[in-house]
Amino acid sequence: MRRPPSNGEAASEGPGGWGLWGVQESRRLCCAGHHRCEQALLQIGINMMALPGGRHLDSITLPGQRLHLMQVDSVQRWMEDLKLMTECECMCVLQAKPISLEEDAQGDLILAGGPGPGDPLQLLLKRGWVISTELRRIGQKLAQDRWARVHSMSVRLTCHARSMVSEYSAVSRNSSKEMGQIEKLLMEKCSELSAVTERCLQVENEHVLKSMKACVSETLSMLGQHFGQLLELALTREVQALVRKIDASDNIYTTESTTGNLFSLTQEGAPLCRIIAKEGGVVALFKICRQDTFRCLYPQALRTLASICCVEEGVHQLEKVDGVLCLADILTDDSHSEATRAEAAAVVAQVTSPHLPVTQHLSSFMESMEEIVTALIKLCQEASSGEVFLLASAALANITFFDTMACEMLLQLNAIRVLLEACSDKQRVDTPYTRDQIVTILANMSVLEQCASDIIQENGVQLIMGMLSEKPRSGTPAEVAACERVQQKAAVTLARLSRDPDVAREAVRLSCMSRLIELCRSPSERNSSDAVLVACLAALRRLAGVCPEGLQDSDFQQLVQPRLVDSFLLCSNMEESFV
């Protein structure tokens, strides 16, 4: 199931920019001029394929460096990966000892069974992934002074680069003059790298070798820059061709195939999403969503739009083409399928994400907000599956951060009743990711005074109490993090609602104080989360102010009476007793 952006989480991509392909990790080279090589490694395609599977709405992030080449089943994708990387391993059967003198020798990257004829995009993605991986590994070996490996990998890198240039020239149209110049510079630097690393093999003087290492670093830096520039130009050219094809096509099958190719590209990461947005991809996709003849393609086009809008450039383009108005029309039109409206909700969730500062300037959204909020509540109420409910509730959760007026609208639309009723429906709400969205909405709505009476009326305090006991089922990092957010936001909601004495007394009656104390004193109950600890201490103090008789003296003296920071330090350093 797809997961929406977790509210308040930082985006995985770092600020600023290191050229086209982003950053995965910085590896410092211990030599003169090491910073230049390190900078180059940051500028090349190390993170080109870094976005996890699914859509960009998956912000409970699962970092990975997986290559998504096409939408195929898992076995076929595994077979494709085997062609790209093989582990060259020689073992002695009797003693199981490696024959290789390189005890840490890694598998060589091999590109076998190249892409089919006329398929330049796959060629670029495959070769680009292999070359960027080789560059990263050369940098690692250079930092370890493994000159034999550095030279052999440099020779292999030159072969891959030459193959990419020649194969792309064979399958693509006439190259531009700029591309030809960069290709020439890239191959010159590859040859230079091979030559200088070969000379380093013959040098034994440490001082001379150190100065030559700086030269290798400089060459590797320039090679990475040329590679990034060439790949950006080539991919931009292919994206332009796809967008032109969508614009010119009136055939539903051609448009479906081309849109699918564009969606696959969005899964390769934010850099490609920026290229697609810059080259008119958002405009072309909204053109599809405004033509009745392409109604069956709306879900696919909207899913692609949601992916592109994970970057600011995509949101800017959406604003320029009145995309919010188009989304509002789709959401409020009951003649559209549930799948179409769910995908429109996903786009709304993406463009209102708190991670994107540009969303605060979506003036067109304010004009359609009431219609969108009403349609999303209806979608939550009528959702036939957990995924539809998740996308609609994620959009609502982000909108409550977007503008405080949304909370008042939700209150008038009986959103609390709709959300709390859904919590008892396992078909709609069955994961901590969905409960994270619900409790986010409740937490933001709880700043309104009239919210408390609705919570009591709908038995919401008991639901919040249950969320304080949220536990992961699979134990994956993403699910554990989601459970922490649910616990934290449940405690925040309880603290805000407890301004009302009726809510506070109901919470005490349901033993909420006991659960809060347990979360404070037992790190394992909150997965050692400091954020959950602070929220629970605040909620406990608010309840103690209304009903102090619910606390034992020791709890009062340690968790309520001291300053909040002192209680925090006490609980965060507390060791559990196993007696």
42-54, pLDDT tens digit by residue? 333 333 333 333 3
Average pLDDT over residues 518-542: 92
Are 173 and 303 in the same domain? no
Task: Decide if 150 is inside a domain.
Answer: yes
Q: How confident is the model at residue 11 (pLDDT cuts 50, 70, 90)?
A: very low
Q: How confident is the model at residue 38 (pLDDT cuts 50, 70, 90)?
A: very low
Given a contact cutoff of 8 angstroms between Cβ atoms, the answer to whether 330 and 288 are in contact is no
Task: Decide if 330 is inside a domain.
Answer: yes
Whether 40 has a pLDDT exceeding 90, the answer reads no
Query: What pLDDT is stored for residue 376 in this prediction?
Result: 96
Are 407 and 338 in the same domain? yes
Task: Decide if 71 is inside a domain.
Answer: no
- CATH number, domain at 211? 1.20.120
Burial 219-235 (b: 16+ CB within 10 A, else e): bbbbbbbbbbbbbbbbb
Looking at 168, 200, 229, the residue that finishes a domain is 229
Are 495 and 559 in the same domain? yes
Whether 13 has a pLDDT exceeding 80, the answer reads no
> What mean pLDDT value characterizes the chain?
80
Share above pLDDT 90 across residues of the chain, in percent, rounded to a whole number: 46
Query: What pLDDT is stored for residue 557 in this prediction?
Result: 83
Query: What pLDDT is stored for residue 85 in this prediction?
Result: 55
Query: What pLDDT is stored for residue 564 in this prediction?
Result: 87
Tens-digit pLDDT profile for residues 346-397: 999 999 988 887 665 577 788 889 999 999 999 999 999 999 999 999 999 9
Task: Decide if 47 is inside a domain.
Answer: no
Task: Decide if 256 is inside a domain.
Answer: yes
Q: How confident is the model at residue 61 (pLDDT cuts 50, 70, 90)?
A: very low
DSSP 301: H
Task: Decide if 242 is inside a domain.
Answer: no
Looking at 229, 264, 280, the residue that finishes a domain is 229
Query: What pLDDT is stored for residue 173 in this prediction?
Result: 67
Helix axis angle for 120-143 and 74-84, nearest 10°, is 50
Are 288 and 348 in the same domain? yes
Are 221 and 257 in the same domain? no
Are 406 and 523 in the same domain? no
Query: What pLDDT is stored for residue 361 in this prediction?
Result: 59
Query: What pLDDT is stored for residue 124 in this prediction?
Result: 85
Residue of 131, 137, 135, 78 lying closest to 102 (CA atoms): 137
Whether 117 has a pLDDT exceeding 90, the answer reads no
- CATH number, domain at 257? 1.25.10.10
State how far the Cα of 373 lies from the Cα of 369, in Å rounded to an integer.
Answer: 6
Are 225 and 268 in the same domain? no
254 three-state secondary structure: helix
Whether 92 has a pLDDT exceeding 90, the answer reads no
Query: What pLDDT is stored for residue 84 in this prediction?
Result: 58
Query: What pLDDT is stored for residue 540 in this prediction?
Result: 92
Given a contact cutoff of 8 angstroms between Cβ atoms, the answer to whether 390 and 345 are in contact is no
Task: Decide if 149 is inside a domain.
Answer: yes
Average pLDDT over residues 198-224: 86
Locate 339 and state its tokens: 């799948």
Q: How confident is the model at residue 208 (pLDDT cuts 50, 70, 90)?
A: confident
CB burial of residue 501 (10 Å; 0-12, 13-18, 19+): exposed
Are 346 and 382 in the same domain? yes
Are 501 and 394 in the same domain? no
Average pLDDT over residues 303-318: 94
Query: What pLDDT is stored for residue 390 in this prediction?
Result: 96
Give me the domain span that covers residue 188: 120-229
Whether 290 has a pLDDT exceeding 70, the answer reads yes
Are 253 and 225 in the same domain? no
Q: Pick the residue with more confidence: 235 or 555?
A: 235
Number of domains in the chain: 3
Query: What pLDDT is stored for residue 103 in this prediction?
Result: 40
Average pLDDT over residues 189-201: 89
Whether 21 has a pLDDT exceeding 80, the answer reads no
Whether 88 has a pLDDT exceeding 80, the answer reads no
Query: What pLDDT is stored for residue 28 in this prediction?
Result: 32
Are 166 and 214 in the same domain? yes
Residue type at position 91: M
Tens-digit pLDDT profile for residues 444-491: 999 988 888 889 888 899 999 999 999 988 889 999 999 999 999 999
Whether 399 has a pLDDT exceeding 80, the answer reads yes
Weakest mean pLDDT among 126-130, 320-324, 433-437, 440-444: 126-130
What is the CB neighbour count within 10 angstroms for residue 465? 18
Looking at 413, 438, 459, the residue that finishes a domain is 413
Helix axis angle for 338-351 and 312-320, nearest 10°, is 120
Task: Decide if 221 is inside a domain.
Answer: yes
Are 384 and 261 in the same domain? yes
Helix axis angle for 323-332 and 338-351, nearest 10°, is 140
